[in-house]
Amino acid sequence: MNKIRLPLPSRQELALIIVTMFWGGTYYVLHLALQSSGPFFFVAVRFLFAAFFVVLLTGTRCLVGITRKEIINGSLIGLALVTGYLLQLQGLLTISSSRSAFLTALYVPLVPLMQWLFLRKPPHFMSMLGLILAFMGLMFLAGPQGGKISLSHGDILTIIATFAFAIEILLISLYALQADSRRITIVQLVAGGIVAFICMPIAGESAPHLAWGWVLCALAMGLLSAAVQLVMNWAQKSVSATRATVIYSTEPIWGGIIGSLMGEALPSTTIFGAFFIICGVITSELRPRWPGFRRTLRGAVARDRMPAMADIIIRYPEDPPRDSSKKP
């Protein structure tokens, strides 16, 4: 009798699993950092630390010959990214890190929808199916009572943040893939840090007292951001985009696990919601190769020509959500 042997993950796949696990845990790290620092200050310091580590790891030669177009495009991407992070951290002030992780994952199925709205490129059938599943998950997370959806202020801010992250991915697909990825990465991080600093007095936030809590969190997040990109760029040279996307989709799962280990409660509705959101994330990135399936959709739904999330990440080092993009 032949035994069924499950294929073991390769070294590259194990590396992606490990960095995804660590990145999922950053939601709880952010939650801790906000206990000793305001969101605007922490985002600013985190972005600038990340930029410093990227320069340290890649060298300054990449900045020689930087163009005005790269500065403008990188700044636009940085503006979208910092907007998403600021909204996400504002939401973390009132919701748990695990809940934030599950809600943030919504940006993946949102990307094809935003592409349709702004670039007039119809989404793939699987992208729309993934969006429907993710929306069902959101309904569970909302905890409907008496036929009404109940979303807290923190939930709403986090959901708005996912739109900012989706716009960031669109800007990357438009601008960054034709430029030097290292330059764009450094510019967007520096621009995002400056914007966060400028917004501090507008938001009525002052610089916190020097405390090891936020300093260590900012240093760890900056260093981890740079290290994650190096691992991703190495690993994805031999890991398919689909397999990489499935691995990245486990990020909110790790966020929920670590949050629950730290004492955060996970109601049954949250677990059901998380399940549907993760299914939506995976489904939105799948492209079936069944001939009959393709013939059925051909002529009814245009092919999705936007690069897969994982393809964007491998060609453009970005701080993941988010997934694919995941974030600095």
Q: What is the amino acid identity at position 64?
A: V
Q: Cα 220 from chain centroid?
A: 18
Q: How confident is the model at residue 312 (pLDDT cuts 50, 70, 90)?
A: very low
Give the DSSP letter string of 33-92: HTTTS-HHHHHHHHHHHHHHHHHHHH-SGGGTT--HHHHHHHHHHHHHHHHHHHHHHHHH
The whole-angstrom distance between residue 119's C-alpha and the CA centroid of its chain comes to 21
Q: Identify the pLDDT of residue 235.
A: 74
Q: What is the DSSP string of 37-49?
A: S-HHHHHHHHHHH
- The strand pairing partners of 145, in sequence order, are 148
- Per-residue confidence (pLDDT) for residue 229, from 0 to 100: 66
Mean pLDDT of 289-315: 42
pLDDT at 218: 86
pLDDT greater than 50 at residue 140 = yes
Instruction: With CA atoms as reference, report the closest residue to 86 among 138, 47, 32, 141.
Output: 47
pLDDT tens digits along 206-232: 888 888 888 888 888 888 877 776 676
DSSP secondary structure string for all residues of 149-162: ----HHHHHHHHHH
pLDDT the model gives residue 206: 86
Which of the pair, 87 or 23, is modelled with greater confidence?
A: 87
Type of residue numbered 8: L
CB 86 within 8 A of CB 256: no
Residue 185 tokens read as: 């990465």
Report, as an integer, the average pLDDT of 278-307: 57
Tell me what pLDDT residue 37 has. Answer: 87
Closest CA to 44 of 221, 165, 211: 221
Say if CB 251 and CB 283 are below 8 A apart: no
Over its C-alpha atoms, the chain yields an Rg (Å, rounded) of: 19
**Nearest to 126, CA basis, from 104, 141, 111, 105:** 111
Q: Is pLDDT above 90 for 158?
A: yes
Q: What percent of the chain lies above the pLDDT cut of 70?
A: 79
Locus of tokens 């010959």? 65
Mean pLDDT on 14-35 = 85
The pLDDT tens digits for 252-267 are 888 888 888 888 777 8
Contact 277, 295 (CB under 8 A): no
Which pLDDT band, with edges at 50, 70 and 90, does 173 fall under? confident
Contacts of 189 (CB under 8 A, 6+ apart): 47, 48, 50, 51, 54, 78, 319, 328
Q: Which of 9-23, 195-209, 219-233, 297-311 has the least mean pLDDT?
A: 297-311
Average pLDDT, the chain: 77
Whole-number Cα distances in Å, 219 to 29, 97, 251, 315: 11, 19, 21, 25
Model pLDDT, residue 145:
54
Token duo for residue 277: 């959101």
The torsion angles phi and psi of 18, rounded to 5 degrees, stand at -65, -45
35 residue type, one letter: Q
The pLDDT value given to residue 190: 92
Residue of higher predicted confidence among 86 and 117: 86
Does residue 317 register a pLDDT over 80? no
| Average confidence (pLDDT) over 263-280 | 82
Separation CA 255–CA 31 (nearest Å) = 11
pLDDT tens digits for range 67-116 = 888 899 889 989 998 999 999 999 998 888 888 888 888 887 888 888 88
